[in-house]
Structure 1
Amino acid sequence: MSADGTRTPIDATEPGGRADLLERVNDVIYPRALKAMFRIPPEQIHRIIAAAIRICGRFAVTRWLVGRVLAVHDPILTSTVFGVRFPGPLGLAAGFDKNAEGADTWGALGFGYAEVGTVTAIAQPGNPAPRLFRLPADRALINRMGFNNHGAGAAAHRLTTRRVLSGSPGAVPIAANIGKSKVTPLDEAVEDYLISARLLGPLADFMVVNVSSPNTPGLRDLQAVDSLRPILAAVTAAVNIPVLVKIAPDLADEDIDAVADLAVELGLAGIVATNTTISRDGLRTPRADVEAIGPGGLSGAPLAPRSREVLHRLYGRVGGRLAIISVGGLESADDAYARIRAGASLLQGYTGFIYGGPLWTRRIHQGIARRLRADGFASLAEAVGADVAEGAS
């Protein structure tokens, strides 16, 4: 993908060194299929795709067949971050698998891990529809879903009944992303988060505390250090797995620094940066169309510049003490590798997966592996923050 968001042709530098059959299918057939899918309401097509993913995960043979095509098994991509082993750095961002229904399938689809949720203590329907909108000219989405999910108890049940258990072939780490229930007052947020943490902590590989969605009233107020401290301290004490916090791209730089310092103080494992943005700057979609959509969080390509800025700031502040998961506008192997060299230990995507097609994860993982070897690295971990180290030398 070029800097201006247009699709670049496959050449000898792309996975496999040539435009093989799968690449052609992805580049020729998928864009046409995407146009057809975009004629269907967003949530309806999401339900169809989610159902297909669930069905794929039910059978070992379908998981194996899909994994043979999409999963990249390359030792140079394997890393251990906050004590968890990841077969690849690119994971599925929260928001796609809200109810942990596809946990058995994400590894076969080529992801190195998946973050399920956001899950809340109390099941909730979310905001009224329409609440999910496409901006194809920007390769972006706007959502105001409002943490629609079946509740932490239902997610815990699904994770308990997983067919592909941690440590078995094809398994990838699963993170539980937890948020505040809409009906819970802000002054009762700690206990609300604890309900989800206690249910999901024994079943997930790591946990992400979400205080940064723009679609739950007052939630972003919890990013203030005085409000955030008791939540993170309580969740960290309640679970025996690594805990991370997910922050908004719209935070002022000094507030990012304050959250990073708090995360270090409390012994968190890392920071997920960033969530969706409320900014609408620089969009190609006509302003009138964007205004007609209304409020919500923007994800996709327009978020990339700010996501990279936050990554650079965080690594400069806490690099080496906290792991950083970079998410927001990730589309290409070039961008993925640049973020690793800038300090990201892990990466995530969601909107890029929708626009990039089924080979998206494979292309990015293969591209990272190729770039690591070209630069003389023996492992992915060696490349994390390499550009910062070189700049300081």
Structure 2
Amino acid sequence: MKIQIFAMTHKTFDTPPDPLYVSLQVGHATHEDLGYLADDTGDNISAKNCYYSELTGLYWVWKNVKDLDYVGVCHYRRYLLNDAGSIFTRAQLAPLLKDYDMITSKCLTLNFSYAYGFGENHTPEDLAAAGQVIAKLYPDFYPLYAKRLQENHTYFGNMMICSKPLFDEYCAFLFPIFEAMHPLLALDTYDDYHKRLYGFISEFLLMVWCEYRHLRVKECKVGLIGEKKETKETVQKLFTYFRKEDIAGAKAYFLSVKEKRPDILMEASDIDGRLHLCLQIISTCEFELASCQKIQIDLHQPEDVLLAAFTKLNHISTELSFSKGQFPAMTKTDRDFLKTFSPDAIAISLRLYCPDDAHRKDCCKYLSQKLDCTIPCL
């Protein structure tokens, strides 16, 4: 069985040592060379990467890879995982590909319909344009597509492993949709994030297409390796504001980043929760300034020390949340640790990790007694 999995990337990264995985730089035609296999040779759409994101890599594999029985697509940070939680090896894939037509990511269950979620994060008219094109190109496919739009499931990441003929069939279905959509849209007026429209829509289309084709699909967990560069840079920048005790500046900076990158707080971006902790610090400082006109957190601590302290605070809040009135005995170590925080900091942590209003009030009373101060119930 001749198989290769292409890890789509737009930046340097630690390539898995298994030769099954090959790095493929997407958007090479318009970006600095990273030294990897590139998507701008042969028949390619590399120059359109700003619209297609990792799909320019899929297109390249479709048009230029001819000598493989099976192909796979993953990302430089995201990999399909086997049942043991590790990236697949060639030996593990061989039996699976006899039983399944495609291996891909687990289906996500949203708290809203796909159409609603798309409209909240993108331009609804773009999804309408997709429907218009799909109805014209694939009238037999359209009814299922329209039905699933109003339901709450989707794949994500454009990751898959399947036979090369099936991969080619999917690409031959997918790319004509976007080619026909392009004249109907105004993507060049969008910011860089929203301009990558086709990469977003294709995630949903893969799910519907697999169902339409009645494929036997093996859905797998996705492993995230390493923090996103954009997230790391955002956290570092926030700490430059923290050290100046410029909380208003930190908040304004974060909001400017989120406007450009609406996905920055998603689990796949904030993999270890450091950015969420930074926002908690901002909220805590705002409450402290409002209640006592002074920031009580030591914002000059090393980054890891400060984030570790808030992580421990949140862990205590979580334990209290699950206590259901049977509060555990508080150790002197925990009491001394909690006293390093202001009542506002503790209250905000409880608000985040103890969602039940009645129980949170009990937690505040309990901590007020133990710490000899008043913990407000927010």
TM class by smaller structure? under 0.3
> Normalising by the residue count of structure 2, what TM-score does the alignment of the two structures yield?
0.26
Structure with greater helix share of residues: 2
> Whose Rg is larger?
2
User: Higher relative CO (CA 8 A, sep ≥ 6), structure 1 or 2?
Assistant: 1
TM-score by length of 1: 0.25
